[in-house]
Amino acid sequence: MTTPPSLSTALRYWLKLGFISFGGPAGQIALMHAELVERRRWISEQRFLHALNYCMLLPGPEATQLAVYIGWLLHRARGGILAGALFVLPSLLILIGLAWIYLAFGDVPAIAAVLYGIKPAVVALVLAATWRIGRRTLKNGLLAGLAGTAFVAIVLGVPFPAVVLAAALLGLLGGRLRPAAFAPGSPGHGSASASHGPAVIDDDTPTPPHARFGWRKLLATSAAGIGLMAASWAAVAALTGLYNPLAQMGWFFTKAALLTFGGAYAVLPYVYQGGVETHGWLTPAQMIDGLALGETTPGPLIMVNAFVGFVGGWTHQVLGNPAASGVAGALVAAWFTFVPSFIFILAGGPLVEATRGNIRMTAPLTAISAAVVGVIASLAVFFGEHVFFAGARPDWAAMAIAAAAAWALLRWQTGPVKLLAACAMAGLVLHYAKGINALMPIN
């Protein structure tokens, strides 16, 4: 019989995962599957996929939520909270360090050259994400048309929340009129029939008492979570001022957390609109650089919100000292981005599990997933405009780097870290070549 892991053993694993979880949500989920399903046997294949299906229905980073979910099943609420916290903590600390280096030394020519090479790679990463998610999501012409409509709407300036709401309403209607077109597909993370021997949480293991559904438990946990969020925001507003950027960040990133259907790329246009255009926390170029830094760190990509918070805090000097202001902004952004995911798992897990397979509930989420494909494509347009046409002339070198990066991603399945390293090297080479040419006499 498989021995249940102790809490300390589980926590060591979650912390290790936080440091090695490169490759986005697909890579993170694959790491958890290989370790928890195949090697350690803490959870069976079917129960793992059941948990994953639940997390894919929710807004927020699904890999983080999956870690919280499994930690919750194994060691109750304390295990879920600690699992999620240790999963995201390394990414947060690393990104804070990188953001400080970026703002303190970003004008150094060598670093500027590295960023020059990375920015086109970010455009390629967004295009590749559009292609991958589109292939998985747009299963018919109706969903493809919904994606195209969402793309046009975002380009024309329609707010991201309005696009999500319209897609949800269309999905609700479509689930009644054409349910087959909105039926959810398989997440594609393995066959449920695969067997690796007995597991701690096996296919036929009864649901633990703490995970069983009850209205009183649902209402109490939801109220506690909402109260925590409200108290956190009230504390930030009281300490810094109602119109201080930190208080604005708390409210803004709470809304962003509730709109993150379809992964981090889906909500980035909303973060871009709010962080760059509405609040002016950072520039378009800084947003692109932040996404590049987020791609090079382990953990959830939505941690780029912490970069936005750091730059916004640093720029607006919310606490006087630039570094302290940046750290405060990053912590506020991370807190209000991730706490809703914990609440969803701890409060709603049993209820949502009980309603899996109900097309009337899943159809709106299928429609939202289709719409975010168009939203992600619009993000590539926004970024491409600022990377390729930032000066008086088109930047053909940046276009060439982006084209090569997109080919490497789609044809050779190159990992994002290797890709960004190669493009950074290309930026350095171009910078060095320009320096040599500048020293050559003109004939």
Give the least confident one: 76-90, 98-112, 189-203: 189-203
In sequence order, the 6+-apart residues with CB closer than 8 A to the CB of 410 are: 128, 131
Query: What average pLDDT does range 230-256 have in this prediction?
Result: 93
**For the residues 235-239, what does the mean pLDDT come to?**
94
pLDDT confidence of residue 361:
63
Query: 418-439: per-residue pLDDT in tens?
Result: 887 888 888 888 877 765 444 3
Taking each helix axis from N to C terminus, what angle separates 109-137 and 416-439, rounded to the nearest 10 degrees?
Answer: 140
Mean pLDDT (the chain, rounded) = 82
Give the tokens for residue 392: 């008086």
> Span 9-28, mean pLDDT?
80
Instruction: State percent of the chain over pLDDT 90.
Output: 28
Return the pLDDT at 263. 62
Length of the chain: 443
What does the DSSP assignment read for 293-321? HHHHSSS-GGGHHHHHHHHHHHHHTTTSS
Residue pLDDT, tens place only, 316-366: 988 889 999 999 999 999 999 999 999 999 998 777 656 555 556 667 777
Look at residue 201 and tell me whether its pLDDT is greater than 60: yes
Q: Is the dihedral of CA 276, 281, 286, 287 positive or negative?
A: negative
Classify residue 188 as exposed, middle or buried by CB count within 10 Å of its CB (0-12, 13-18, 19+).
Answer: exposed
Which of 220-229, 233-242, 434-443 is predicted least confidently?
Answer: 434-443
Which of 26-35, 76-85, 322-331, 403-412 is predicted least confidently?
A: 26-35
Q: How far apart are CA 349 and CA 330, in angstroms?
A: 28
* pLDDT tens digits, 52-99: 767 766 788 888 999 999 999 899 999 999 999 999 999 999 999 989
Q: Check if the beta carbon of residue 75 is closer than 8 Å to that of residue 42.
A: no
pTM confidence score: 0.71
Quick one: what percent of the chain has pLDDT higher than 70? 85
Domain regions of the chain by residue span: 7-186+211-436
Question: Is residue 247's pLDDT more than 80?
Answer: yes
Q: In the 8-state DSSP scheme, what is residue 142?
A: H
pLDDT at 228 exceeding the cut of 90: yes
pLDDT digits (tens, 9 = 90+) for 291-311: 878 877 778 888 999 999 999
Alpha helices in 106-140 (DSSP H): 109-137
More confident residue, 263 or 87: 87
What is the mean pLDDT of the segment spanning 264-282? Answer: 84
